[in-house]
Structure 1
């Protein structure tokens, strides 16, 4: 049975868990004078498609909460029997018709006024699906020019809709979507190591996230700032950005986000040589992740993060603090769990594994592992961030084993792959 992706996207877009949506729907039912009977299980049935058409009062509450029709939220009305000519009309419909007819005799105003062009939740959901598609593309290939251009076009479309009629809630959601698109462009530029454009996009995304009053979008920007600062070798700023991500409201609600912020801080501390601070932050990251519910609705961009990615980040920390054996073990743990579709992530984790092996002086094994990166990314240019990490491997390789035939052979292949990229 297929799930209700529209409702799931709407919940992710607002950062709602199943329990939180149940509370919101029940609150609206109570305010309307009805008993609130929606539970986590009710919402789960909506999400899995087990319930295709909720009770009318629940439908009304959902429409009020998301400001769109239940059809836009992915619900499907059951097929109804065609009304025969001798069947009586529903009383409400008949009353509406009589009222409209009486009004026609007294006025020349058309019965059906032109509907103003408004932006609704369905428009936001459509734009959100565009973000999700770009995230999927990034996971397979990494940052590149076409991804960046499509992200900027999506942001422009979202902002252009601000000139049309919309409720205040929809306007905030449009700013949030624009922030996500701009953040995607920033991530693409960062992955390609185009730092000037990255800085510009991150500043713009931070502004839009603030306009949206969206803690998830704010977290996303600070998370990218932490990566950006690390790539620029400004490790103090990387820690500061990770701490800024940690104090966003979403970290108080969802330990998954808190775990990621701690992991970013751990990497920054490890580069600063703060061994105990790095290990403490890694411990906090693992602890928080253990409390997270993997099934809670979240934005698509954080789908990369889980135990596998945390192991990959732990490998970076372990290697930087002088524990290459621990780094190798963590990399193996990561690669055993990173999904096959996350090709760029698997290639980065494989490079980190090669570094851990090299720093244990296992040159032949390290070169063999690093070779697998080119196989993983075959058919696409290596993203700039990956080329940089492979450059770190090559520099350490010629430093530790300058006369090794295996090292020279690997260096030849590295230069050939670099020229093709």
Structure 2
């Protein structure tokens, strides 16, 4: 195939369209420069057909961050240099990292630190490399120890570069923001795995880094995770307070999508303390804010939030309030709208749907729904939040019908799958 075969292969691996690649490159440029990049579908076509053999520096650094490899490995060549064929073993290494999530593979997947002592915009892009990969790994598999370690290693690399190099105040703030992003990935991985003490420690660090970065979206992200952590710990009043803190960060005034997420997170905390009126009001505010939201560049971590996730959180709220029919309906709406790449989220929503059906005494339908969670995860290790939900389902099922046929069949599947994951 003529043109840049290596880039074409990488694009196919990630399943990105030309427009999606241009958008991701432009997002990275905006993160560094403060201005959304100018890449278009035509730009991507020029890269693929070989018309542009060596993109300019900002685009090149952004491409390296998106694909976690060098421009040369993407098939680009400097003028006068000989084009290298794509290396199959590199593709195998990348796929191995995504499949296994091992800390060793994660370490090898990222570029080595630069020896330069003066840090600039290109260093910000270089040090952000791997963030998209970690987010994709979380969407697919969920939180686990290897993801946490990989994220912390990247955060340490960023902070080490800051300690060893000099930079303008603007670049320093952007690097603190990058470190906060990686630390937030580690914190979220622990929340998903229900390693709560580790999550708290990482969130303390994340909040400090976000403050040093003067980064409102990073501060919002930290407060959002703190609200989730407090709900897991049973500190529901503290969860409401954290969600309120997220609601008053600067980014919520500029982007109603963040405001919607903060209201939805508030509703979850309010439902946990039994305040139905407040929870329903917060859900209404979340829906109203989301209706005002427009499609615009945002950090990749927040890609999970949209109509599907709001329906999922609505199901959580109704489930907490004992309104199981409404919880079931919201779960169905969430599953119908959820993008395919969020496998872990689909599994969580399905488990909550099974609980809502079980609490309406529809045992056969509930156990059939719960069994599909194992099919969705396809033998992958289950994160702690999902294991907890299935454990709740098992306990409530045994309470309702310990000896019924549906309960026995589910119990056999539950024990078999539990031993595998």
Query: Which TM-score band applies after superposition, normalised by the shorter structure?
Result: 0.7 to 0.9
Output aligned runs, 1:409-420, within 5 Å.
Answer: 409-420=409-420
Please state if 1:7 is matched with 2:8: no
By how many angstroms is 1:402 displaced?
A: 2.7
Q: How far apart, in 1, do the equivalents of 2:132 and 2:315 lie?
A: 28
Q: Which residue pairs with 1:85 in the alignment?
A: none
Counterparts of 2:292 and 2:369, CA distance in 1:
34
* CA distance in 2: counterparts of 1:381 and 1:254, whole angstroms: 36
RMSD over aligned CA atoms reads: 2.5
Counterpart position of 1:34? none
1:179 maps to which residue?
180
The equivalent residue for 1:354 is 354
Residue in 2 that maps onto 1:98: none
- Structural mapping, 1:77-92, within 5 Å: none
What displacement does 1:323 show? 1.5
User: How far is the alpha carbon of 1:70 from its aligned partner?
Assistant: 6.6
Corresponding residue of 2:84: none
Per the alignment, residue 100 of structure 2 pairs with: none
* Rg comparison, structure with higher value: 1
- Return the alpha-carbon distance in structure 1 between the equivalents of residues 363 and 62 of structure 2: 55
Of 402-411 and 306-315, more deviation after overlay is shown by 402-411
Q: Could you say which residue in structure 2 is the equivalent of 1:37?
A: none
Contact 2:32 2:121 in 1 (8 A): no
Q: Deviations over 1:271-295 (max 9, x none)?
A: 111001110011111111111112x
Deviation at 1:132, TM superposition (A): 1.4
Is the aligned partner of 1:300 residue 2:300?
A: yes
- 3-state SS of paired residue (1:336): helix
Q: Distance in 2 between matches of 1:338 and 1:258?
A: 20
CA distance in 1, matches of 2:62, 2:152: 26
Structure 1: distance between partners of 2:350 and 2:127:
34
In structure 2, what is the Cα distance between the partners aligned to 1:371 and 1:116? 54
Q: Residues of 2 paired with 1:128 and 1:331: CA distance? A: 35
Q: 1:315 maps to what in 2?
A: 315
Specify the alignment match of 1:123 in structure 2: 123
Conserved 8 A contact 2:118-2:167: yes
For 2:340 and 2:118, locate their aligned partners in 1 and report how far apart those are by CA, in whole Å. 42
Deviation for aligned residue 1:412: 2.8
- Residue ranges of structure 2 left out of the alignment (5+ in a row): 1-17, 47-55, 64-78, 81-114
Q: Is this contact kept in 1: 2:397–2:407, CA < 8 A?
A: yes
**Shift in Å, 1:51:** 6.5
Are the counterparts in 2 of residues 8 and 47 from structure 1 also a CA contact under 8 Å? no
TM-score (normalizing by structure 2): 0.77
How much does 1:235 deviate?
0.9
Range with greater deviation from structure 2 (249-258 or 316-325) = 316-325
Corresponding residue for 1:95? none
How far has the Cα of 1:354 moved from its partner? Answer: 0.5
Deviation at 1:229, TM superposition (A): 0.8
Which is bigger in relative contact order (C-alpha 8 A, separation at least 6)? 1
SS of the residue 2:130 aligns to: helix
- Give the deviation of 1:13 after TM superposition: 6.2
Q: Provide Cα deviations, 1:338-386, integer angstroms capped at 9, x if missing partner.
A: 1222110000010011111111111100000000001111231111110
Q: Deviations over 1:195-250 (max 9, x none)?
A: 11111111111111111111111011111111111111111111111111111101
> Hey, what does 1:365 align to over in structure 2?
365
Structure 2 residue aligned with 1:212: 213
Q: Is 2:40 aligned against 1:48?
A: yes
Distance 2:297 2:172 in 1: 22
**Distance in 2 separating the partners of 1:71 and 1:352:** 43
Structure 2 CA distance for partners of 1:118 and 1:420, relative to 1, 3 Å: same
Q: Is the 8 A contact 2:227 2:240 kept in 1?
A: yes
Question: How many correspondences in the alignment?
Answer: 345
**Separation in 1, partners of 2:32, 2:166:** 21
Relative distance call for 1:140 and 1:70 in structure 2 (3 A) is closer
Give the 3 Å change call, closer, same or farther, for CA 166–411 of structure 1 in structure 2. Answer: same
Partners of 1:73 and 1:185 in 2: how far apart? 23
Contact 2:25 2:59 in 1 (8 A): no
Contact 1:238-1:265 at 8 Å conserved across structures: yes
Q: TM-score normalized by structure 1?
A: 0.77
State the distance in 2 between where 1:226 and 1:194 align: 15
Q: Give the distance between the partners of 1:416 and 1:206, measured in 2 at CA.
A: 41
Residues of 1 paired with 2:31 and 2:412: CA distance? 46
Aligned to 2:149: 149
Q: What residue number does 2:71 align with?
A: none
Report the equivalent of 2:291.
Answer: 290
* Residue of structure 2 in register with 1:195 after alignment: 196
Query: Are residues 420 and 222 of structure 1, via their aligned partners in 2, closer, same or farther at CA, if it must alter by over 3 Å?
Result: same
Deviations 1:129-178 (A, max 9, x none): 31111000000000111111110110001101112021111100111111
Given the superposition, is the C-alpha separation of residues 409 and 121 from structure 1 closer, same or farther in structure 2, using an over 3 Å criterion?
A: same
User: In the alignment, which residue of structure 2 is the partner of 1:138?
Assistant: 138
SS in 2 for 1:394: helix
Give me the whole-angstrom Cα distance separating, in 2, the residues matched to 1:293 and 1:12.
Answer: 19
70 and 419 in structure 1: CA distance in 2 versus 1, 3 angstrom threshold: closer
